[in-house]
Amino acid sequence: MLNLVRNGSRCLQLRNQQQICPRISSLNHLVQQKISNLNGDGARYQSSLPVPAALELPEQYSKSWSVVEQSKISEFDIDAILLEHNVTKAKYLHLACADSNNAFSINFRTTPMNSTGVAHILEHTTLCGSNKYPVRDPFMKMLNRSLSTFMNAMTGPDYTLYPFSTCNPQDFKNLMSVYMDSVFCPLLREQDFLQEGWRLENEDIADSQSKLVIKGVVFNEMKGAYSNSQSLFGQHLLNNLVPDHTYGFSSGGFPMHIPSLSYEELKAFHAKHYHPSNSRIYTYGDIPLKTNLETIDDYLNRFSHLEIDTSVPTQTRWSSPKVEKVTCAPDPMNPDPAKQSTVAVSYLLQDITDLQESFVLQVIGDLLLDGPSAPFYRTLIEPGIGSGFSPVSGYDNHIKESTLTIGLQNISEDDIDRVVGIIDSTLEEVVENGFPKNRIDAILHSYELGLKHRSGNFGLNIIMNMTAYWNHSQDPVEYLRINKTLDWFKQSLADDPQFLQKKVKQYFVDNKHKLVQSMKPEESFTDQEEQEFLKLEEQMRSKLTEEDKTTIRNKALELLKSQDMKDDASCLPTIKLSDIPDSYTGPVVNRLSLAGVPVQTSLQPTNQVAYFRALLDTSEVPSDLKTYLPLFSSFLSKLGAKHLSYQDLDTQIELNTGGLSASCHLAESLTDMNSFSDTMLLSSYCLDGKIDEMFNLWTMIFEDLHLNDAHRISTLVKMSATNAGNGIAHSGHRNRFWFLTVTYSLLPLYAMSTAAAAVNPVSAMADKYSGMDFVNLLSSLAKQDGNMILQKFQALAKILLNKNSMKVALNMTEECNDSFLKSTENFLNNLPGNSGSIQTIQAADFKKTDAKIHHVVPFPINFTAQSIATVPYTHPDCAALRVLASVLSSKYLHTEIREKGGAYGGGATAGSGTFTFYSYRDPKNLETFSVYRESLDWAVDGNITNQDVEEGQLRVFQKLDEPVQPGYRGIREFLSGVDDHTFNQQRLRVKAVTKDDLVRVTTEHLIDAPVSGRALIGPAQTGLEDLGWTTKRN
């Protein structure tokens, strides 16, 4: 069964963030998303290979492999074959289908029995060089030599996963070779351990007399990760609920424990866990099985069988519930200092390999917590006891046995027992009364729609979702047979109307393996933690002999030397720029007018799903109201309309669509940096048969949005303030399949947004809508009653909810074309207003300023950014600046900021009229700004080679030519105005960039820029004001 992920926008889901430590952060992806409107339409990526014939094990491999299972998965038009390697017993699953975005992964069951982060540090060091590719950090180097659509590695609680995907067959072969060689034949040099894990080193490496302190990439990464109280809460919850074996520890590593890991232990862990006998290999896409087997077979044949047992025993069940109390740092962003406690009740449930029970529990988790008509929304959120569900609330099947957590955050310490009492009584009430039928139907509908709607990277999503299951199960193919489980579920419900109530009684009310965990802030928490680190360092220093100190010093200097050395990456395979075609053909888009509104349509193989998008001009909104636009948009479908209460509207939305969403959308002019359009984007999708129902819901919202319930507004504002204050965002939309709900840290983006706002008018507007100022606004609004906001919303509704200056985009299958157009016309005819076009806003009075802004936050780690105004999209230098950002990132900033500086990452990005440097989870602060400046000097000093330029170009093309799912094709021009001709002009310019261009644009646009915006998000610093910084506290 698939990992059924609830809509991320509703419940906090931090589990991915806290338990999975990726090799590289998703930040680059996020940054790119900001300019993704400017990327391709992916129409070229439909498979050009013939649909594969029935799968068979090729003859020449029949001696070394056995077929375990072979079958068709009709749900996804996939042919699956599961193989076992005869000697090592390695498992290999291949899913053949007509998708050219081929995916690969290899995973090992890794079950550390301490919190030194050994699995996580191994994941990092494995990718630091291998026998066949003995270069420093081939993983990072391959990022520049490939057209991958995804490359990463991540450590879960009990597995380590190495996945990638790409549309280019040669690239697939190249990457597979590097990944296989890295995991099976890594060099695992001591130096890699010191760099990626931990080391003692002089605080200032240039000064041999400065004191020795702990440094290291994973050490800093985890310090940053656990400085977030939410992550800490989730980690403790897992450790406390399933304490007996590997889940009793942190696989990412607790910073205090990391320095007790030795290099020898790391190597021993590799020898035991990274063996084919403990591996699961996966490929997906249109590349033939035979081609993939060539590489896989070659590696596995070098090994014999290893008898190892990495299985995780079932947790012994408790005979009575347990109570645990933990502490955290106070949160200065919290609007109510008296309400800073969190409490959650967590239940240990069933083995996740039981697909039917997993499905029932997933549905129950959704019914209990998801959406405003859920019982716990009514009993926990609406009374206003806290501001939102606690971290990890909801059903979780990331580990061997699933769990369900129900909790509330930002409550008063005195309310802890009351909340626990409400949780008990609500569950008893559910056992008594059951769930309303239309809610069960709504959830089943959303599963069915989720099977059809494809977003993102399909083959990759399968393995990301399936890994936790396959890690403990013999049969991954069964997981994909969703219809079988759905049918069983419906039948069970039909046979016994009390089916779900009985399950709630069994798994929750009668469950003795129940943990009540509360967390409260302690004023001295951060100080105490810092003291402990200092004490640890002191202890380590005191044990050192003079000889040890010399060894440490020498190793540090050697590491620095090797980091400074330019190593020869020519042994690594690469894609050539000449492999990228010059021509670009976008999807066919038709343009027409319906009810006076401009409409574009694109006929696509959307799997019987119809996609609707509309842009509404917001340029007429007065500036005092504009501040409220982001809230107005995000609450638009959550307030109720016409005869439907907000609960009923929510159920109807889920019964008929994949969700109705609205957001602020800014698009900079392609030719002039001082002008842009400011709009609200509406979007929704549904099955072809439900188009009228979908429009009916939008019509009710346009005609009669409920703007009279101040309590409702207050509740929503408080929940938003909590999410924003936690500094996190969720990807994805209401979709129970495929979209692994990833939680991002927003802090790096806040830093970049603050910096760019100083030098660019569109960025300044974007900062108002989604930057730190917006977070601050939310936290002040959370303290007020909802009436003032209601008045603002009423004024906004009057201006916006009509078809004045609207435009529409529709994606659908050919069969659906006529009915979708007819329904759209009806919908538009019924809307009030006259048609007009979307206006361009001129920001003539915008003045760039030399800003230095420090946002003080309670984390012991920094996020920095510096932004310089550059050129608009159609300017000839735009392409060179994009390539430059890519070259600086991989050739200079990565080494200086991550490898030497110990930050989780750093780089540069160019787009939207700005060139922006960034670093995240950075132990340094002002020094990093010097690195930014030095990178520009490095660029003009003739250090960039032709190879560097080509790699930079490839990296830009990874995004430019990224594949796009059918429901999203043709949307680039709709949102950004970049037509196919302009887009291809940009592609060709990127392809034509030379070394001299990079030097020239650095000189002309960056090195002597008169002003720049600088932002620092991090702990309080003395002396910054004297250096011209403006400190902002929340």
**Using an 8 Å Cβ cutoff, are 827 and 695 in contact?**
yes
Q: What is the smallest separation between the CB atom of 959 and Zn ion, expressed in angstroms?
A: 23
Nearer to Zn ion, 28 or 669 (CB): 28
- Does position 903 interact with Zn ion (CB under 5 A)? The reply is no
Smallest gap, in angstroms, from Cβ of residue 18 to Zn ion?
13
- Tally Cβ neighbours within 10 Å of residue 846: 15
Residue 21 or 724: which CB sits closer to Zn ion? 21
What is the phi-psi region of residue 30: left when phi exceeds 0, alpha when psi lies from -120 to 50, beta otherwise? Answer: alpha
Phi, psi for residue 643 in degrees, rounded to 5: -80, 0
Q: How far is the CB of 121 from Zn ion (least distance, A)?
A: 8
Q: How many residues belong to the chain?
A: 1034
**What amino acid occupies position 714?**
S
Q: Which residue's structure tokens are 């014939």?
A: 53
Instruction: Compute the chain's Rg from CA coordinates.
Output: 28
Distance CA 827, CA 778 (A): 34
**Interaction between residue 21 and Zn ion (CB under 5 A):** yes
Out of 69, 123, 558, 962, the active site residue is: 123
Our CB check for Zn ion shows the closer of 685 and 904 to be 904
Taking the complex as a whole, the smallest distance from the CB of residue 193 to Zn ion amounts, in Å, to: 14
Helical (H) or strand (E) element with 107: strand 102-109
Taking the least distance from each CB to Zn ion, the nearer of 221 and 366 is: 221
Q: Which is nearer to Zn ion, 255 or 276 (CB)?
A: 255
Closest to Zn ion by CB, 408 vs 464, is 464
Which of the stretches 132-140, 220-228, 732-740, 959-967 binds Zn ion when contact is defined by CB under 5 A?
220-228
Closest CA to 14 of 298, 235, 216: 235
Nearer to Zn ion, 221 or 962 (CB): 221
Q: Quick one: 228 or 723, whose CB is closer to Zn ion? A: 228
Q: Compute the least distance from the CB of residue 221 to Zn ion, in Å.
A: 5
Helix H or strand E encompassing 83:
strand 78-85
Question: Smaller CB distance to Zn ion: residue 21 or 949?
Answer: 21
Element (H, E) at 878: helix 877-888
Window 717 to 746, contacts with Zn ion (CB under 5 A) = none
Task: Give the integer Cα–Cα distance in Å for 265 and 43.
Answer: 49
Give min distance, CB of 459 to Zn ion, in A: 24
Nearer to Zn ion, 221 or 370 (CB): 221
For residues 649 and 697, is the Cβ–Cβ distance under 8 A?
yes
Q: Is 78 in the site for Zn ion (CB under 5 A)?
A: no
Task: For residue 123, indicate whether it is catalytic.
Answer: yes
- Burial code (b: 16+ CB inside 10 Å, e: under 16) for 648-673 equals bbbbbbbbbbbbbbbbbbbbbbbeeb
**Residue 123 Cβ vs Zn ion, minimum distance, rounded to whole Å:** 7
Site size toward Zn ion (CB under 5 A) is 2
- Rounded to 10 degrees, what is the CA torsion of 526, 531, 532, 537? 130
For 548, 764, 896, the CA distances from 554, given in Å and listed in that order, are: 10, 48, 20
Q: Which stretch binds Zn ion (CB under 5 A): 13-21, 41-49, 176-184, 264-272?
A: 13-21
- Quote the least distance from Cβ 887 to Zn ion, whole Å: 24
Q: Which residues contact 815 (CB under 8 A, 6 or more apart)?
A: 688
Distance between CA atoms of 759 and 764, rounded to whole angstroms?
8
Give the shortest CB-194-to-Zn ion separation in angstroms.
Answer: 16
Tokens of residue 283, six digits: 């490929």
Beta bridge partners of 1013: 867
Compare residues 920 and 929 and give the one whose CB is closer to Zn ion. Answer: 920
Element spanning 617, H or E? strand 609-617
CB of 124 to Zn ion, least distance (A): 6
The two structure tokens encoding residue 222: 């985890």
What Cα–Cα distance (Å) separates residue 969 from each residue in 98, 586, 633, 963, 964? 18, 8, 24, 9, 6
Integer angstrom CA distances of residue 887 from 164, 414, 563, 884, 995: 22, 55, 17, 5, 10
Pairing of strands 102-109, 91-96: unpaired
| Window of 20-28, 62-70, 181-189, 259-267 that interacts with Zn ion by CB under 5 A | 20-28
User: Angle at CA 978, nearest 5°, toward 688 and 1003?
Assistant: 145
Residue type, 63: K
Comparing CB distances to Zn ion, the nearer of 156 and 761 is: 156
Residues 563-592 that bind Zn ion (CB under 5 A): none
Pick the closer one to Zn ion by CB: 26 or 943.
26
For 306, residues 6+ apart whose C-beta sits below 8 A from its C-beta are 88, 275, 276, 277, 278
Task: Collapse the DSSP code of 54 into the 3-class scheme (helix H, G, I; strand E, B; otherwise coil) and give the result.
Answer: coil
Tell the smallest beta-carbon distance from residue 120 to Zn ion (Å).
6
| Residue 187 to residues 190, 199, 385, Cα–Cα distance (Å) | 9, 19, 54
Name the DSSP letter for residue 1005.
Answer: I
What the block records as the tokens of 812 is 């659908």
| Residue whose Cβ sits closest to Zn ion | 21
**746: exposed, middle or buried (Cβ count in 10 Å: 0-12, 13-18, 19+):** buried
Helix (H) or strand (E) segment spanning residue 973 = helix 971-976
Q: List the structure tokens of 692.
A: 């009228």
Residues of span 491-530 touching Zn ion by CB under 5 A: none
Piece of 14-22, 297-305, 490-498, 876-884 that binds Zn ion (CB under 5 A): 14-22
Give the helix/strand (H/E) hosting 280.
strand 279-285
Cβ–Cβ under 8 Å, residues 92 and 79? no
CA distance 910 to 914: 6
CB of 156 to Zn ion, least distance (A): 12
Task: Find the shortest distance in angstroms from Cβ 260 to Zn ion.
Answer: 18
Question: Could you list the residues that contact Zn ion (CB under 5 A)?
Answer: 21, 221
Residues with active-site annotation: 123
